[in-house]
Amino acid sequence: MHYNIEIAYAVFSSTISLRSGLLIVTANQLILLDIALMALTVDKIRVSTFFLLVFVNLQPSALSAPQVPCFFIFGDSLVDSGNNNDLPTLAKVDYPPYGIDFRKGPTGRFTNGGTTADFLGELLGFDDYIPPFATAEGNEIIRGVNYASGSAGIRDETGEQLGVRINLNNQLKNHNVTITRIAGLLGSGTPELLNKCLYYFVIGSNDYINNYLVPEYYPTSRMYTPEQYATVLVQQYSQHFKTLYGFGARKVAVNGIGPVGCAPAMLARGTNGSACVDWMNKAVQLFNDKLKLLVDDFNTNITDAKFLYLSAMDLRPTELIALGIRFLSKPCCKVSNTTGLCIPGETPCPIRALHAFYDAFHPSEIVNRVVAVASYIELLKLLIL
């Protein structure tokens, strides 16, 4: 179902208006339309109270085309939709209790319901989920493909202690395969299509969690200071973007890394009285700051493309509390001491929307919804081009 959305007033004094049917946003604020619309009530606490000043009028519109013709997703377990299911790896979750709130059940998504990419696809107007590369076939690849792989990173070696994964380098190779397949379907119209697609990146956290922060497996923390490592990571990321640009990408959205030091698995290392492991978050922030500069540089020097840095992943504990989320560091499911993933077959917590994390690393569906809506608002900068 597609909707026309009218917002009369928004929190944080954001200024929002409608112009020619487009939602125009003049401030990047967190406006959780999904939860406001659902008027979600959890344990007698209305989560939408945080958005008390938000008025939303939903009207089904005529069936319209998505805001972009195709949506390509690159990343890690935060947006993996099943690419790891048949790989020899510990980083796969095609079993209950994953998918307990997802209409298709356990599909390989590392959460109880949908991922950020799933909800973002809905907001963009797609009437079905973007298929994973592992199973994508036929004409469905024309509307996009999801290449994301759990434990994957920007660096080739990241996550290898967990088993086989599809690193970013190989995700781009898979995208080149997709382009060849699309060309077989569309012929000369392929370049024009690719220029109009949205390319969405959610990757980098494993380059810390499953690389830099585990010196027993990787030497990177002995080779580089946090500042140097961030520089090297962004330089490698830059090369991948240039490759994608060569493939025809002209609208690229890049997520910063969220506060990995707030993940339950990381808290076990000690917080010194803080809500999170601050030194980890500071290391990640170095990467994010350099990534923003890279995006600015690309936009200055590549005039026929638009790159956008998305900050929505950077949700802090105080913001989660304001959303009505009560358990910031307690996973919803019972987790393995080895992997931090849900133990197969165990019953998860009854009220998932009260938990920020579903397992020891991955956010619950409610957090994914928040990030998706905030990302969509930021993405309007690309969509109106």
**Number of C-beta neighbours around residue 311 at 10 A:** 16
Q: Is 362 a catalytic residue?
A: yes
Please name the amino acid found at residue 101.
D
Q: Which residues of 108-125 are buried (b: 16+ CB within 10 A; e: fewer)?
A: bbbbbbbbbbbbbbbbbb
How many other CB atoms sit within 10 Å of the CB of residue 161? 14
Q: Parallel, antiparallel, or unpaired: how do β-strands 16-19 and 22-25 relate? A: antiparallel
Q: Which of 81, 118, 362, 375 is catalytic?
A: 362
Q: Which of 48, 77, 81, 205 is catalytic?
A: 77
Residue 104 backbone class (left: φ over 0; alpha: ψ -120 to 50; beta: rest): alpha
Contact 332, 364 (CB under 8 A): yes
The DSSP-derived string for 314-359 is ---HHHHHHTT--BSSS-SS-B-TTT-SBPTT----S-GGGBSBSS
Dihedrals phi, psi of 191, to nearest 5 degrees: -60, -40
Q: Which residue has the tokens 């796969």?
A: 92
Catalytic residue, candidates 76, 101, 359, 364:
359
Q: Which two tokens stand for residue 49?
A: 């109270």
Nearest Cα to 82, choosing from 139, 138, 130?
130
The catalytic residues are: 77, 359, 362
